[in-house]
Amino acid sequence: MIRTSLAALAALALPATLAAQTTTQDQLDARYDRALAAGYKALFLCSALANAQRNGVERTPESVEQWELTGVYPRIADIIGDLDYTILPDAAGRVALVQVDWADDMPPRFAEGSHDSGCRLAPIGLDAPMPEMRVPPIPGEKQANPGTAQMGGGLTIPMVAIETGDGTTKEQPSALDKVIERAFTPDYGDGARTTAVVLRHGDRGDGVIGQGQYAPGFGPDTPQRTWSVAKSIAATLIGAAVQRGDAKVTDALAFDDWRWDARREITIDNFLRMASGRYSDTPGNRTDPLYMGGALVAESATGWPLLHEPGTVFRYANNDTLMAVKAIEDTFDSYDPADLFADIGMTGTVAETDWGTDYILSSQVWATAEDLAKLGQLYLDDGVTQDGKRLLPENWREYVSTPSGPQPDNGFGYGASWWLFNNHEGIPADTFAAMGNRGQFVVVVPSRDVVIVRRGEDPTGSRFDIVAFTRDVLASLE
């Protein structure tokens, strides 16, 4: 009888214990989400403001809150708007530090700014330097929206005149002008929010001409985060290393912690093609600890175990790009991302790092739309820069735009960190693109000598139809 009673009591106590543990876990998760939201807010305010200042333009905190800090991940969407922040400028008035309060018993999350290299996010719990110098947010006037047209989500965009190659503006919009203007309306996606469209195309051998249109507060010198377009930039950086003879795509990553297991056989090519075979915890491998938590690339991207033979399964993962870059990090003393941008002429672009020294080239690059058009132009010109320097191997464009091994099942193909337009009617078969979160696109069409850049801050759940837009742009050029 005693045994039965004790067993019955234990059975009754078990659900209560589990319930308590569940409550505790919910509280921990809620606290962690606040920490992540604060990190996200600190980094985006810092990067958007500091990188704009680097390019000689100004953005206001209100603009960043309106564009970058709305429509974000559901996990933090209901938290981020309520978190207070302060912005600390340096002696020259440039953004030096952004702090975001998130818990009464913990230091604010903060991002540290640099005029030359963007911002980096500190780990959770680290005290910000010089706390006695905290100041209110840097003031900025809200910009009026001149001549506007209604846009999805209740926002507005200006009907800016199309810029032409000779510096004039067109009174009567052409078929192409009309397509570009439609990109700023809901025509290509309900709720999509376009910030910039830039087009570069050859004019029957008379040279490259460009056209561009921007939303209020954005212009040719305004950088935005590239998100996963950075993966294609990473592939370009690796291509430059291959051209110099500093790397081969068949090289495996000599990472110390992998020397005892089969991960030592994963090649740069496997990483670039999202076919490392490693486990990732979510589709797309969200990497919240790195992107919002201030974790290091070395601790967040390296430890995932192998589940499949390398080269046999497609699994889109931020960590694969991070490891591909890690495979060439020994070359950065002589040639780093800043050198790549200088060679291409991407003067308004910055590659940011983690709190240490590792570049986050899976996402964290800030670039202007004009600079991304120059990236596309490099591929149109088969890896030769505008001043005649061969930056990429002669076959690099074919390499990145040719599928090999496993493929995604989302209607697009995948090469080496560039997406492929597979059999879409009205679009040439050689079309490939860099694509990123919130509607970042760099579409390259070699057979038509065309580069199409579309930037946006599309809310989660909204998608810009890049296939339809590309088809319409190309049709308007015929």
pLDDT at 470 > cutoff 90: yes
Q: What is the 3-state secondary structure (H, E, C) of 97-151?
A: EEEECCCCCCCCEEEEEECCCEEEECCCCCCCCCHHHCCCCCCCCCCCCCCEEEC
Task: Assess whether pLDDT exceeds 80 at residue 2.
Answer: no
Residue 121's pLDDT is what?
Answer: 98
Q: What is the pTM of this model?
A: 0.88
Residue recorded with tokens 């985006």: 44
- 352 shares a domain with 315: no
pLDDT at residue 136 tops 50: no
Give pLDDT, residue 342: 98
In 2-33, which positions are buried (b, 16+ CB within 10 angstroms) versus exposed (e)?
eeeeeeeeeeeeeeeeeeeeeeeeeeeeeebb
**53 is a domain residue:** yes
Instruction: Indicate whether 223 and 349 sit together in one domain.
Output: yes
Residues 387 and 263 in one domain: no
Taking Cα atoms as reference points, which of 310, 309, 319 lies closest to residue 284?
Answer: 319
Look at strands 350-351 and 419-421 and give their pairing.
Answer: unpaired
Segment (H or E) for 213: strand 208-214
Give me the mean pLDDT over the 132-145 stretch.
42
Q: Is 3 helix (H, G, I), strand (E, B) or coil?
A: helix
Q: Is residue 1 part of a domain?
A: no
Domain that holds residue 260: 248-327
Cβ contact 121:47 at 8 Å: no
Hunting for tokens 């290299």 — which residue is that? 117
Identify the domain boundary among 100, 133, 166: 133
User: Over 90: is that where the pLDDT of 48 sits?
Assistant: yes
Do 56 and 122 belong to one domain?
A: yes
Cβ-based neighbours of 164, under 8 Å, separated by 6 or more = 170, 209, 211
**What percentage of residues in the chain have a pLDDT greater than 90?**
76
Report, in this order, helix, strand and coil percent for the chain, each rounded to 5: 35, 20, 45
Quick check: is 242 in a domain?
A: no
228 vs 286, more confident? 228
Domain count within the chain: 3
Q: How far apart are CA 323 and CA 383, in angstroms?
A: 23
Tell me, yes or no, whether 92 and 123 share the same domain.
yes
Tokens representing residue 160 in the block:
């800016």
Residue 209, φ and ψ in degrees, nearest 5: -120, 160
Domain check: are 478 and 345 in the same one? yes
Which of 133, 156, 172 lies at the terminal end of a domain, its last residue? 133
Amino acid at 455: R
Residue 4 inside a domain? The answer is: no
Checking if the pLDDT of 340 tops 80, the result is yes
- Cβ count near 149 (within 10 Å): 12
CB neighbour class for 91 (10 Å; exposed up to 12, middle 13-18, buried from 19): exposed
Reading the block at residue 302, the tokens are 């390296």
Looking at residue 142, its pLDDT comes to 34
Query: Do the domain assignments include residue 17?
Result: no
Supply the mean pLDDT for the chain.
88
| Alpha carbon distance 238, 417 (integer Å) | 11
CATH number at residue 359: 3.40.710.10
Residues 263 and 358 in one domain: no
Name the residue with tokens 């890690």: 326
In this structure, which amino acid lies at residue 318?
N
Q: In what order do the strands lie in the sheet with 450-456?
A: 208-214, 194-202, 450-456, 440-445, 432-436, 419-421, 412-414
What phi and psi values does residue 180 have, to the nearest 5 degrees? Answer: -60, -45
Give the SS3 label for residue 87.
strand
Is 51 inside a domain boundary?
yes
In a domain, 241, yes or no: no
Quote the CA–CA distance of 194 and 106 in Å, as a whole number: 37
Within 351-426, residue ranges assigned H as helices are: 369-380, 396-400
Q: Cα dist. 69→64, 81, 366 in Å?
A: 6, 8, 16
Say whether both 319 and 339 belong to one domain.
no
Instruction: Using the Cα atoms of residue 167, residue 169, residue 175 and residue 181 in order, give the sign of their dihedral.
Output: positive
144 by Cβ neighbours in 10 Å (0-12 / 13-18 / 19+) ranks as: exposed
Tens of pLDDT along 268-321?
A: 999 999 999 999 988 777 899 999 999 999 999 999 999 999 999 999 999 999
End of a domain among 304, 327, 350? 327
Say if residue 183 is exposed, middle or buried (CB neighbours under 10 Å; 0-12, 13-18, 19+).
buried
Other C-beta atoms lying within 10 Å of the C-beta of residue 207: 8
**SS3 (DSSP) at 412:** strand
* 18 found inside a domain: no
At residue 15, the pLDDT reads 66
Tell me, yes or no, whether 458 and 321 share the same domain. Answer: no
Element (H, E) at 271: helix 268-272
Find the mean pLDDT for residues 66-94.
95
Q: Note whether 344 and 431 are same-domain residues.
A: yes
Same domain, residue pair 109 and 65: yes
444 in the same domain as 350: yes
Across 111-115, 170-174, 385-389, 465-469, which has the greatest mean pLDDT? 465-469
